[in-house]
Structure 1
């Protein structure tokens, strides 16, 4: 079996983390695997390119730049295809799995992707198509994240915001949505198996394309994190005031970090110590420690290991790996109500809470937070969570899909 993982980025973002982990685990188990990514920062080669074996940068910088420039007017990526991979894929001996992840974000023209899949399937029938949906892009006219909008259910009549990712200057979602959905139906007709880590994303997809069309395989923590976990000493109880973490790539983005909630936590003063991890923190106060964006996973996990809890208030994530990682090292997560947080926390017996409850919970000790959210002792919660988010189980479920299609 030869596996190709496809994702717009190599090592940035949750989808990249899942695709890269599947690639590395497959190589570790002796399977032939390659990782094809679109581009790195600024359309260049990823800064992580040399860190991983069998990875291929796919898109010329000018293609990515053209898509970025024109997307704001056209609401879709006009350029980008897999045509140069046709010969190597069709000449590969034995079964080939093409496993797609995030193909949008200024990388590929969707129609060109479907035509390519049609062509390679006709030439080589033992090609298997798999597509993991890490967001809602497959059901909307344009957006990757619905951010509470349900306009996709009625054909994206009028977009309530032009700023939702990917942002535009002119709203063409209503004109594009029918054609886009037809392309996904054509992928289904080619035998593509759609998968999502999120129940709510799968439900949205199945409501449009038919029951059971998208199945669920939950994300698991990656190999690097598992190695870090093995070395981290469990911190049962910290000293002094509660240390509360807030983690996001860009801390200014209200969709990922509820700005008002963080400011209300800051207003608790010396009752808590607030630690932020991410770029562009707008939060400054005597009880705030801004660590910046930590690219070293070991350093981030070591820092989180010292926390009493992580507060998660994103309204746009679908199956956030940071929650799996924090829970796996025994850090309780205090999450506001969202489908994504509810789904992740339920795996280790936890629950989401209101914003008012967050402000009460962050003042408690680590064992008290574990008891309140997970209904058990800190030790039992830690043990339960360590087992709940296994990356090896994720690989086994995907390989089972590859083999059965």
Structure 2
């Protein structure tokens, strides 16, 4: 069984990381799994093939400029990510693609894949839905917009007032060009439900296999030891905040401001990683330590383990990778009871799910978790929750069964 995963972007972070862990789990299952990626980082692993040679770097540069030119026509476009799926590398000619039994798509944007090429593969295709892009007219999360459920156009992300705009074109192109026999898999029940409601996939079969992390990489370390290594010396409870694109509106940064504004600064210390600068965090008057971007699991494991609670204010999230990583390290999570994170956290057992989008309830949740007399039990439950349901071995077993059923024709 030869499976080729197509993954765009940095293989060491973001949506690609869940796909990478699945790949590692599949190798352990005896599946001949290969990743083809636009990431220049291949981790020195022979099963990861980077395609950015000199010729493809020039192609990527030209494609990037072409997409930028198209998007520049929308002068009122927001800063949120919008992808057209119009440009990509010539993947069908790759030897690994030709010899594969199954092509498995993950996050394929950033001008990695032109969707018109999918019909040329002549292979069974699985597409794991890691955000909303496969089901929309170009946005990766439909923020305060439900047009993906009917007809895109007048796209609020593009700042468009025209019905027949780029989003309408991209949506129609997907309806016209996507092969009818793709197997779609959501990484959470929430993203699966959005897919079933969408115009593009309405009537299509969409199943759910929960996203995964590597619990051999994320595990609890003694809090005092972690804090000592990180240079944190405080008697206060530590709240961890982190995301690679925290300023994206669906990450809830404005809600985070309200939460922090209502917490006792004498009781809490903030640990921050990712796309958060000093100006963002110093305005609230907390003691804090900022770690910047963390890509290695050792540093992330220490930061998670050193904290008392991880705060997730996302309002749209297909899964919640950082939520699962934190819990795997024994650090409970406070999130809103919505979308992907709500399927990971068990209320009052492994964390706290605040009423959407009630920031005072989130404050209550932080206080409840951090000062609970049963904190050690909550911490242990968080770790066990991930071990039992979200380890890479669980996802790999389910995908291996799906691959076999597709190859045998029984699916």
Superposition TM-score tier, normalisation by shorter sequence: 0.7 to 0.9
Question: What secondary structure, in the 3-state scheme, does the structure 1 residue paired with 2:153 have?
Answer: coil
Distance 1:290 1:177, change over 3 A: same
What is aligned with 1:329?
329
Pick one of 62, 71, 87 that aligns with 1:79.
87
Question: What secondary structure, in the 3-state scheme, does the structure 2 residue paired with 1:52 have?
Answer: coil
C-alpha deviation, 1:114, in angstroms: 2.2
Question: What secondary structure, in the 3-state scheme, does the structure 2 residue paired with 1:115 have?
Answer: helix
What is aligned with 1:283?
281
Aligned length: 371
Distance 1:163 1:335, change over 3 A: farther
Matched, 1:175 2:169: yes
What is aligned with 2:64?
68
What is aligned with 2:212?
220
Matches within 5 A, 1:129-144: 129-144=125-140
Distance 1:274 1:67, change over 3 A: same
Distance 1:83 1:68, change over 3 A: closer
Alpha-carbon distance in 1 for matches of 2:204, 2:351: 27
What is aligned with 1:343?
343
C-alpha deviation, 1:58, in angstroms: 2.4
C-alpha deviation, 1:211, in angstroms: 4.5
State the 4+ residue runs in structure 1 displaced beyond 6 angstroms.
Answer: none
Q: Return the TM-score normalized by structure 1.
A: 0.81
What is aligned with 1:244?
239
C-alpha deviation, 1:4, in angstroms: 0.8
Could you tell me which runs of 5 or more consecutive residues in structure 1 were left unpaired when the two chains were aligned: 41-45, 122-126, 165-169
C-alpha deviation, 1:322, in angstroms: 1.0
Per-residue CA shift, 1:78-107, capped at 9, x if unaligned?
Answer: 4324455355543x3xx6121111122222
C-alpha deviation, 1:55, in angstroms: 1.5
What is aligned with 1:167?
none
Q: Which has the higher contact order (CA 8 A, sep 6+)?
A: 2
Alpha-carbon distance in 2 for matches of 1:349, 1:242: 17
Pick one of 229, 232, 235 that aligns with 2:221.
232
Distance 1:388 1:368, change over 3 A: farther
Distance 1:9 1:330, change over 3 A: same
Alpha-carbon distance in 2 for matches of 1:258, 1:82: 38
Matches within 5 A, 1:104-253: 104-111=109-116, 113-117=117-121, 121=122, 127-162=123-158, 171-184=165-178, 187-188=179-180, 191-207=181-197, 208=199, 209-211=201-203, 213-222=205-214, 225-229=215-219, 232-233=221-222, 240-253=235-248
Is the Cα–Cα contact under 8 Å of residues 10 and 49 in structure 1 kept in the other structure? no
C-alpha deviation, 1:179, in angstroms: 2.2
What is aligned with 1:3?
3
Alpha-carbon distance in 1 for matches of 2:378, 2:49: 46
Question: What secondary structure, in the 3-state scheme, does the structure 2 residue paired with 1:363 have?
Answer: helix
Distance 1:173 1:10, change over 3 A: same
Q: Return the TM-score normalized by structure 2.
A: 0.80
- Root mean square deviation of aligned Cα: 3.1
Question: What secondary structure, in the 3-state scheme, does the structure 2 residue paired with 1:330 have?
Answer: coil
Is the Cα–Cα contact under 8 Å of residues 124 and 182 in structure 2 kept in the other structure? yes
